[in-house]
């Protein structure tokens, strides 16, 4: 049996707005912006099994892999956007640090306007004042990005709230109110939350209000399954970080089981999470982050979104495919293969705080803690820089 696919995969942060190409500069490397290509899409042929191969007529490997999964460049270096035009963006402490390091960036005015905000400046408590400035800066920059990209803007929630469900919810509500003040509608927004149990609970409650969430720092199947049960719009797994941990550590049952099966533990985690989401009808979309090479991408074809380094994307873009190519591109992940995947009774549990804590092995515990530490440090650095330049001229 054969089927044809005449359109690309749905965008991670899609909207009905038209595409735009950008060419502006900034200097940060740990946030991401999404892109899609202006191109014609090839016909896909699917056998009665779970894999599909791309028909002839593609121009590059990047065209081929983009047919199966939405590709996300791991960059906020805006000069790269002419090569990889973005459709959506993430605004974060990392991005604010980049803006603050480049006074001539087009977003610097958004930060200066935040520092001049009349609701923040009168606050006597320095910590509350700085928090107010940061929220306003995030939203001002997010509002500017929303004018420049056709898709949605994902806004980072302060990692210092990672273990405070109600604190996360209050912060998201505050950010939504600020976005409303500058006329950015909720459907253009996602909120990026760490995958602690408290973060997952916050995601569940926010999604029940119609607020879309993006759960990050997922390093175990238990986290991924709990996030899917919570209804998170996007779940992000870091393939390379799991692999790196496995190379220098031992003692994590989930990782050791994958290795005993002859599988890469990072790729195995993405595959298992994808199969769980699709087999049991969860609405979540899965994003594979921290991929390190083209083979990682080929092994994940079919996952909803892949974050890839620019050097890998450039290699894919420069690799030309032809009718006599020596290999085809097979869809590794699909709803059909997910339907055949078997889960244990323990894996199908209704996850709660205790069962999640018990199921998370040392890899996910350590990697989650390291990710949170990094985000917290970035947030503190932003506050330190804002404190040094406040009040700005004419305030």
Catalytic positions:
192
How far apart, in Å, are the Cα atoms of 283 and each of 9, 222, 274, 279?
Answer: 15, 17, 11, 11
CA dihedral sign of residues 256, 195, 269, 351:
positive
Rounded to whole angstroms, the Cα distance separating 10 from 371 reads: 28
Please give the full DSSP string across 350-372, using - where no structure is assigned: ---HHHHHHH--HHHHHHHHHHH
**Contact criterion met (CB below 8 Å) for 239 and 291:** yes
Rounded to whole angstroms, the Cα distance separating 236 from 258 reads: 19
Q: Where are the alpha helices (DSSP H) in 253-309?
A: 253-260, 265-279, 294-299
Rounded to whole angstroms, the Cα distance separating 23 from 36 reads: 15
First to last CA, the chain: 69
What are the beta bridge partners of residue 215?
A: 193, 235
Rounded to whole angstroms, the Cα distance separating 154 from 188 reads: 9
Rounded to whole angstroms, the Cα distance separating 124 from 210 reads: 35
């Amino acid at each position: 049996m054969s089927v044809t696919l005449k359109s690309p995969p749905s965008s991670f942060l899609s909207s009905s707005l038209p595409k735009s190409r950008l060419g502006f500069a900034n200097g940060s490397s740990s946030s991401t912006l999404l892109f899609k290509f202006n191109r014609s899409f090839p016909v896909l042929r699917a056998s009665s099994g779970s894999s599909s191969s791309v028909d002839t007529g593609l121009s590059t490997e990047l065209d081929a892999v983009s047919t199966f999964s939405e590709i996300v460049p791991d960059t906020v270096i805006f000069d790269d956007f002419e090569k990889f035009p973005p459709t959506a963006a993430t605004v974060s402490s990392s991005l604010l640090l980049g803006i603050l390091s480049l006074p001539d960036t087009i977003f610097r005015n958004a930060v200066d306007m935040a520092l001049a905000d009349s609701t923040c400046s009168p606050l006597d408590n320095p910590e509350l004042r700085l928090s107010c400035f940061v929220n306003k800066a995030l939203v001002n920059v997010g509002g500017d990005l929303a004018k420049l990209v056709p898709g949605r803007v994902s806004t980072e929630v302060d990692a210092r709230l990672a273990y405070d469900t109600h604190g996360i919810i209050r912060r998201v509500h505050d950010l939504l109110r600020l976005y409303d003040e500058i006329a950015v509608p909720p459907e253009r927004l996602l909120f990026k939350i760490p995958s602690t149990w408290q973060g997952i609970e916050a995601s569940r409650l926010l999604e029940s209000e119609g607020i879309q969430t993006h759960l990050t720092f997922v390093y175990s199947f238990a986290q991924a399954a709990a996030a899917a049960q919570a209804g998170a719009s996007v779940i992000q797994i870091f393939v390379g970080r799991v692999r790196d941990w496995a190379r220098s550590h031992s003692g994590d049952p989930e990782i050791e089981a994958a290795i005993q099966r002859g599988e890469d533990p990072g790729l195995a985690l993405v595959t298992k999470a994808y199969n769980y989401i699709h087999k049991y009808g969860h609405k979540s979309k899965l994003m594979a982050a921290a991929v390190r090479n083209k083979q990682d991408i080929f092994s994940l074809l079919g996952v909803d979104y892949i974050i890839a380094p620019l050097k890998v994307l450039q290699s894919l873009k420069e690799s030309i495919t032809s009718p006599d190519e020596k290999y085809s591109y097979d869809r590794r992940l699909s709803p059909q293969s997910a339907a055949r995947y078997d889960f244990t009774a323990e894996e199908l549990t209704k996850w709660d705080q205790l069962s999640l804590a018990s199921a998370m092995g040392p890899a996910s515990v350590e990697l989650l803690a390291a990710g949170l530490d990094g985000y917290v440090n970035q947030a503190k650095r932003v506050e330190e820089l804002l404190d040094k330049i406040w009040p700005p001229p004419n305030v």
